[in-house]
A and B are shown apart, each in its own frame.
Chain A
Amino acid sequence: MSTNTENVEDLVRKEYEHGFVTDIDTDTVPPGLNEDIITFISRKKEEPEWLLEWRLKAYRQWLKMEDPTWAHLDIEHIDYQAISYYSAPKSKDDAPKSLDEVDPKLLETYEKLGIPLQEQKMLAGVAVDAVFDSVSVATTFKEKLADAGVIFCSFSEAVKDHPDLVKKYLGSVVPAADNFFAALNSAVFTDGSFCYIPKGVRCPMELSTYFRINASNTGQFERTLIVADEASHVSYLEGCTAPMRDENQLHAAVVELVALEDAEIKYSTVQNWYPGDENGVGGIYNFVTKRGDCRGNNSRISWTQVETGSAITWKYPSCILKGNNSIGEFYSVAVTNNHQQADTGTKMIHLGKNTRSTIISKGISARHAQNAYRGLVKISKNADNARNYTQCDSLLMGDQCGAHTFPYIEAKNSSATVEHEATTSKIGEDQLFYCMQRGIAEEDAVNMIVNGFCKEVFKELPMEFAVEAQKLLGVTLEGAVG
């Protein structure tokens, strides 16, 4: 009976939504940010009153905040009033009709990454005809997930269908006014993903697989919330190895992870937004707040990221190790080339007893790029037997680039063990020579060495992405040596 009602409701909503979509198409929101705009976004998305209030509260806090300037980044002043915070989805008519209309440079990169033709079309935004079999694949996936009881949907859907869950967990890891960009996101976020794994469930597939086929249109202000209930397990992949173009220069996403007792979340990111051209013109500003909360005992959160894109990256996926015996991990490869800048790293906050964390960070900097690792390891007074191991290595290519390390260690417990190690060096000339002497072209040799350098991180990625990430690295660093 209840399912029946739901179906009917779905049907009603769907029809309404449909009409609604056509509606927004004609809507244009003037640039600027004020309470009216936020109310407009919230109303458009038919959000409950509490969420609108939450947004407004975040906005009021945001007004009192200032742009962070502590990062080792050179950011041109951003006029937040010049940005349009709600853009209607693009009509399909504007999309390229076939691959012939797509920027050949983009296609060349797809080719190098070995992306199948059908997927290439999708990624380039070509209006795909109904025959494209991924649609049916996606449907099968959806059924499989539903059978397991896993909720995986867009954030707006979650607000409508699972308001209690959203209300309970939204902002519980990254409070609305956590920092400048998180506050901005909380006020104006448009969509994102929501994922809930019920007690004792091991998510039947890597959500990456699903994600890659299904949704590649991420918003400018994305909000992701993943909740792993007791003893559950999920692996999630965000982003895509394929280069993504976007007209919006500023991206301020927020990702919140909650792991309850015995739960495990593995979150992998491949970020390849448009980095700007060789002279540093254009490119995406990627200011992301990512935080995981190991709320229950024996929980585990693992972040793996491969950051190759964006003109500026400002991102610190962190773990709050609240539960006893909980584990936090951070594996990162950050590559900057040309005029790219990255200030990235992690925070491991040890609160519970016997908590452990591992940080492996590999930074590669080429040409005029600046690459910084910034991290905090904090052992609080009650975190008995806490353990941290950190290793940050930087590889430099070219005499104009920079690599920087800013690790903060704060220890207040005498049973804690914290180790931090960092090295910075040039790509090994001996290694290069060895390879070239055996007939390997310089560029291939560089690729090989760089991949070896990043191996510790790549092995944490889901299989197929590890392969692509290796190729991606090669593409990103093309021509960096010589």
Chain B
Amino acid sequence: MTTDIQNYLNDFDQLQTNDWFAKNRQSALNLFKETGFPNTRQENWKYTDVRPIARKSFSNINDQKTTVSPDNVNAIRFTDLDCIELVFINGIYSVEHSRINELPMNVVVENLADALATDNKLLEKHLSQYADNKISPFTALNTAFIQHGTYINVPDNVVIERPINLLFLSKENPSPFATHPRNLIIMGNHAQTTIIESYIGLDEANYFTNAVTEISLSENAILKHYKIQQESQRAYHIGNLNVMQNKDSKLESHSIALGGSLVRNDIHGQLADEGAEIIMNGLYMTNDKQHVDNHTRVDHLKPHTFSTENYRGVLNGNSRAVFNGKVVVHPQAQKIEAHQNNANLLLSDDAEIDTKPELEIYADDVKCSHGATVGQLDQDMLFYLRSRAIDEETARSLLTYAFADEVISKITLPEIKQRLEYLVVGQLPDAALIREFTNE
């Protein structure tokens, strides 16, 4: 394995950063050096082989020359959504395309690299505190290469009405490249906001995104977090979302995975005080030779905490999807409620799903349930549609759409909902017909 990581070690030496975080970078790199890339003998990576990533030599130092025309960006951004927007091109923050304006008082939204350059006690207190480098070598790698990304600080009692959209664009480069975006979101007491992370690959770019997002929610904070992953068909995407939740805080996480050739998404929620609640909603649609792996873990550390999870998958072609949802109820975390559900639609004989909903419970006064299903479209429903003169293919598409819509319909922001519905329908045969049916 040493040869696989050599290229990362070399790039790290060239990085030459001298800020207060340098020591943390070095120790994260040492950790990565020690563990190397994970392999399928490790339980956490049993079904996902990352050798395609390990074998490739990606450049981690990105020149800032890659440019994207404003038209290109406009085609991607939510034009009809009034939002605060940060745009990153091949991992580098683009001042030109970003729109940070009319921020409420004392709210900080900026490029993490800029925040790192200044002396910032708050940043020191929070950065790299919630994403454990030991849990995934990829997180350690990200920490070693921390530079660009987003730093958001919403002080106590501030409600930001406009969503914050983080747009990570990747565009073909002469040589394959890796980006390590890092986002840190700190929400004060009673703070509220909505954050969208979009990962979009232009053309058939060949790259590796290794993103880590850390979130700290203080008392009564409410965050709605959306992740829309539409990487290019040749891209690798590893994403880690880590959240620490305080008393009565609430996180709503919606994760939609549509693109990428090899994708791994980790969500780790820690319900650290009473009344904390996490809702995890997810949809993965795979086709061709895609491999999409979703791992979630919720730690109920204190009594009266709540988690709800609903992940759905639609698998086609030669694709493979993995789901692993873990709920850990720690000793003395009584009166908690945890519900989890994973449903999968296997549409092709060459597709494969590996799902494992796990419960680890060390307290007795709990209400926990989980369910997992693998199946096909309901024959009765198909018959119903066919008997109403809808041809088979359309009927199938319609039902598939209905299956996926279970997740999308839970999204409250109409602009995002519409776009996702559009994207999901676009993945199905007879898209135009379905839109006719559904857009009334």
A contact set with B: CB distance below 8 Å? 70, 72, 379, 381, 394, 396-426
Give the distance in Å from the alpha carbon of A419 to the alpha carbon of B355 in the complex. 11
Query: Would you call B346 and A414 a contact (CB within 8 A)?
Result: yes
- Contact: B374 with A399, CB < 8 Å? no
Are A402 and B346 interface neighbours, CB within 8 A? no
CA distance A424 to B358 in the complex (A): 12
Known interface pairs A399-B334, A408-B356; 10 further A-B residue pairs with C-beta atoms within 8 A, sorted by A's residue number:
A404-B358, A405-B359, A409-B353, A413-B349, A414-B349, A414-B351, A414-B376, A416-B346, A425-B366, A426-B366
Q: Closest residue of chain B to A408, judged by CB?
A: B356
Q: Is the CB of B371 within 8 A of A421?
A: yes
Which of B331, B352, B365, B375 has a CB less than 8 Å from the CB of A418?
B375
How far, in angstroms, from A410 to B323 measured CA to CA in the complex? 10
A389 → B minimal CB distance (Å): 10
The A-B contact count (CB < 8 A) is 114
Cβ-based interface call for B348 (8 A): yes
B61 beta carbon closer than 8 Å to chain A: no
Known contacts A403-B361, A406-B356; A423/B376 CB under 8 A:
no
B360 and A407 within 8 A (CB): no
Residues of B within 8 A of A408 (CB): 354, 356
* Complex contact A402–B366 (CB within 8 A): no
From residue B429, how far is it (CB to closest CB) to chain A in Å? Answer: 16
Do B375 and A397 have beta carbons less than 8 Å apart?
A: no
Q: Which residues of A contact B363 (CB under 8 A)?
A: 396, 399
Q: Are B366's CB and A422's CB within 8 A? A: no
Out of B344, B364, B376, name the residue touching A401 (CB < 8 Å).
B364
Assembly CA distance A404 to B348 (angstroms):
33
- B-to-A contact residues, CB < 8 Å: 43, 331-332, 334, 344, 346-349, 351-376
Q: Could you tell me if B331 and A425 are in contact, using CB atoms closer than 8 angstroms?
A: no
CB-CB < 8 A to B373: which residues of A? 417-420
Q: With A400-B331, A409-B372, A414-B349 known to touch, is A424 a contact of B366 (CB < 8 Å)?
A: yes
Known: A405-B358, A408-B356, A415-B376. Is A381-B366 also a contact (CB below 8 A)? no
A406 touches B358 (CB 8 A): yes
Q: Decide: A420 and B346 in contact? CB cutoff 8 A.
A: no
Please determine whether B353 and A402 come into contact, CB atoms closer than 8 angstroms.
no
Q: Which residues of B contact A416 (CB under 8 A)?
A: 346, 374-375
Question: Which label, helix, strand, loop or mixed, suits the secondary structure of the A interface?
Answer: strand
Q: Report A-chain residues with C-beta under 8 Å of the C-beta of B368.
A: 422-425
State whether B349 touches A402 (Cβ < 8 A). no
* Contact present for A399 and B365 (CB under 8 Å): yes
Q: Counting chain B CB atoms within 10 Å of each CB, which of A399, A412, A414 scores highest?
A: A414
Q: Are A424 and B359 in contact (CB under 8 A)?
A: yes
Check if A409 sits within 8 Å of B366, measured CB to CB: no
Contact A405 B346 (CB under 8 A): no
| Neighbour of B372 across the interface among A381, A407, A425, CB < 8 A | A407
Chain A residues contacting B360 (CB-CB under 8 Å) are 72, 402, 404
A420, B353: Cα distance in complex, Å:
14
By a CB distance below 8 angstroms, the chain B residues around A426 are 364-366
Most chain B Cβ neighbours within 10 Å, of A381, A413, A415? A413
Question: Which residue of the partner chain B has the closest CB to A382?
Answer: B349
Sample of 6 A–B contacts (CB below 8 Å):
A405-B358, A411-B353, A413-B346, A421-B370, A424-B359, A425-B367
Chain B residue nearest to A425 (CB atoms) is B367
Evaluate whether A399 and B346 lie within 8 angstroms (CB atoms) in the complex, with A406-B358, A422-B369, A426-B365 already known: no
Find out whether the CB atom of A424 lies under 8 angstroms from the CB atom of B361. yes
Write out the residue numbers on chain B whose beta carbons fall within 8 Å of the beta carbon of A418.
372-375
4 A-B pairs with least C-beta separation? A396-B364, A418-B374, A424-B368, A405-B359
Give Cα A285–Cα B195 distance, bound, in whole angstroms: 52
Chain B residues near A413 (CB, 8 Å)? 346, 349
* CA distance in complex: A402, B357 (Å): 17
Is B352 within 8 A of A412, CB to CB? Answer: yes
Contacts of B372 in A (CB 8 A): 407, 409, 418-420
**Chain A min CB distance to B318 (Å):** 11
Chain A residues with CB below 8 A from B361, complex form: 394, 396, 402-404, 424
Instruction: Report A395 CB to chain B, min CB distance, Å.
Output: 9
User: CA–CA, A398 to B366, complex, Å?
Assistant: 11
Closest to A413 in B: B349
**Do residues A420 and B362 form an inter-chain contact, with CB atoms below 8 A?**
no
Nearest Cβ on chain A to B237's Cβ, whole angstroms? 23
Please name all residues of chain B whose beta carbon is closer than 8 Å to the beta carbon of A399 when the two chains form the complex: 331-332, 334, 363-365
Chain B's nearest CB lies how many Å from the CB of A365?
Answer: 8
Write the nearest CB–CB distance from A353 to chain B, whole angstroms: 13
Expressed in whole angstroms, the minimum distance between the Cβ of A404 and any Cβ of chain B is 5
Contact partners of B357 in chain A: CB under 8 A: 405, 407, 420, 422
In angstroms, Cα B365 to Cα A30, docked, is 50
A72–B43 Cα distance when bound, in Å, is 13
C-alpha spacing A415/B350, complex, angstroms: 11
CB closest residue in chain A, given B341: A421
* Measured CA separation A397–B364 after assembly (Å): 6
A412 to B346, CA, bound (A): 8
Contact (Cβ within 8 A) B353 A396: no
Task: List, in ascending order, chain B residues with CB within 8 A of A394's CB.
Answer: 359, 361
Question: Nearest chain B CB to A366's CB is how many angstroms away?
Answer: 9
* CB-based contact B371/A422 at 8 Å: yes
Give chain A residues whose Cβ lies under 8 Å from the Cβ of B365. 396, 399, 426
